[in-house]
């Protein structure tokens, strides 16, 4: 069968390969891939900057944003042929640490976790894959390939889950205004959650062209372009930073309303940005602010994601999938094109 593979650590080593059928050791549920979402992490792996093969010298099957249809599953698995499923990305570390042992592998304490298509485990970017029933999620019917948005939505669900938990550190927390920095798929989905929670949502993006401003307006949010200085007076209660850009991070830190929460959810370049740490510290201490990072998702977050997607307008969600490429032209999914939001490899084309 065909699969997108890469030699982690080696620039531009990705290619469409012929690989053996997935081994039973990957799980009892056999799945036909319908679609695979591509994100910044995949681009980083293809650039040689990230990723880990299952064994030394081996190629890694790429892909962690899955959507598939069950071909075969044991009756006791709870899955049946024809079910649409999404695969969870992370697997607990083998020790396991207290977090992984309790099903909270997204909070792994020793770094020994693996991630399909990213770290030490083959991904979902193959015509067929196998998965353990406990790491697969059965989707309620959604039009077309919308289910491929589940994995990025689970990341956003985790961020919002932790924001809510942090908010509960004092009894009278009543956030009203949310600022999302960045309007890629994670930013737009973060805005969707904010709107679904009844907050006033502002989304900042450098650009004012393309489909994103209208997507934000159609959601009920406010789009801001230009520089973050223009939104300096907003005083958001919650900031979700999705760009990972040091210059943007430097501007959002220490600019919330008192007892504000900043969630860092993006990973960008390692280059430096000038930042007044003394001013930041003063703001943090005198206002009881919190800044935290969020990555990955456990099963509960996938369930939160399924709920958010079920309640969202399906046309709006469909507009997030801006480009589909067939498996034979998979490499085009990694290119940046004007108007791109979520680009997917559509295995049904
Ligand atoms: C994935 C996460 C993963 C992270 C770090 C992201 O792109 O969505 O599941 O934990 O990369 O590897």
* Residue 120 in tokens: 């030490």
Average pLDDT value for residue range 124-137? 98
DSSP 263-327: EE------------HHHHHHHHHHHT-EEEE-----HHHHHHHHHHHHHS-HHHHHHHEEEEEEG
Q: Which structural domains are found in the chain, ordered by start? A: 2-138+314-346 (3.90.180.10), 154-293 (3.40.50.720)
Q: Model pTM?
A: 0.97
Looking at ligand 1, which residue's alpha carbon is closest to its atom 3? 296
The answer to whether the beta carbons of residues 245 and 268 sit under 8 Å apart is: yes
A 10 A CB-CB count for 328 gives 11
Residue 58 half-sphere exposure toward CB, CA atoms < 13 A: 14
Pocket probe for ligand 1: among 37, 40, 41, 106, the residue whose CB has the most ligand atoms within 8 Å is 41
Helix (H, G, I), strand (E, B) or coil at 237: coil
- Asked if 75 and 271 count as a contact pair (C-beta separation under 8 A), the reply is no
Q: What pLDDT, in 10s, does the model give residues 194-248?
A: 999 999 999 999 888 999 999 999 999 999 998 887 787 899 999 999 999 999 9
- Any ligand 1 atom below 6 A from CB of 60: no
How high is the mean pLDDT of the chain? 96
């Amino acid at each position: 069968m065909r699969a997108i593979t890469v030699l982690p650590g080696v620039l531009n080593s990705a290619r469409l390969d012929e690989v053996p059928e997935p081994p039973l050791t990957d799980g009892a549920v056999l799945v036909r891939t319908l679609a695979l979402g591509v994100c910044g992490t995949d681009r980083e792996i293809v650039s040689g900057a990230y990723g880990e093969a299952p064994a030394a010298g081996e190629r890694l099957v790429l892909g962690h944003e899955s959507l598939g249809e069950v071909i075969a599953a044991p009756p006791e698995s709870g899955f049946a042929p024809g079910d649409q499923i999404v695969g969870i990305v992370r697997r607990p570390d083998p020790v396991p640490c207290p977090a992984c042992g309790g099903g909270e592998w997204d909070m792994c304490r020793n770094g020994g976790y693996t991630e399909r298509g990213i770290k030490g485990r083959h991904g979902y970017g193959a015509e067929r894959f196998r998965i353990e029933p406990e790491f697969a999620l059965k989707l309620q019917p959604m039009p077309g390939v919308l289910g491929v948005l589940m994995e990025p939505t689970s990341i956003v669900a985790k961020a919002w889950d932790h924001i809510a938990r942090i908010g509960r550190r004092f009894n009278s927390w009543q956030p009203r205004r949310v600022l999302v920095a960045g309007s890629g798929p994670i930013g737009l989905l973060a805005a969707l959650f904010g709107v679904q929670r009844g907050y006033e949502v502002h989304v900042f993006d450098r650009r004012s062209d393309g489909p994103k401003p209208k997507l934000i307006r159609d959601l009920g949010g406010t789009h801001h372009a230009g520089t973050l200085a223009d939104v300096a007076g907003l005083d958001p209660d919650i900031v979700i930073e999705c760009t990972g850009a040091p210059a943007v991070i430097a501007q959002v830190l220490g600019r919330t309303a008192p007892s504000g929460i900043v969630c860092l959810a993006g990973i960008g370049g390692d280059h430096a940005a000038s930042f007044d740490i003394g001013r930041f510290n003063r703001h943090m201490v005198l206002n009881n602010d919190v800044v935290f990072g969020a990555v990955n998702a456990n099963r509960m977050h996938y369930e939160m994601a399924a709920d958010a997607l079920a309640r969202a307008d399906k046309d709006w969600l469909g507009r997030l999938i801006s480009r589909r490429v067939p498996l034979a032209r998979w490499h085009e999914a990694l290119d940046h094109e004007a108007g791109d939001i979520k680009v997917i490899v559509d295995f049904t084309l």
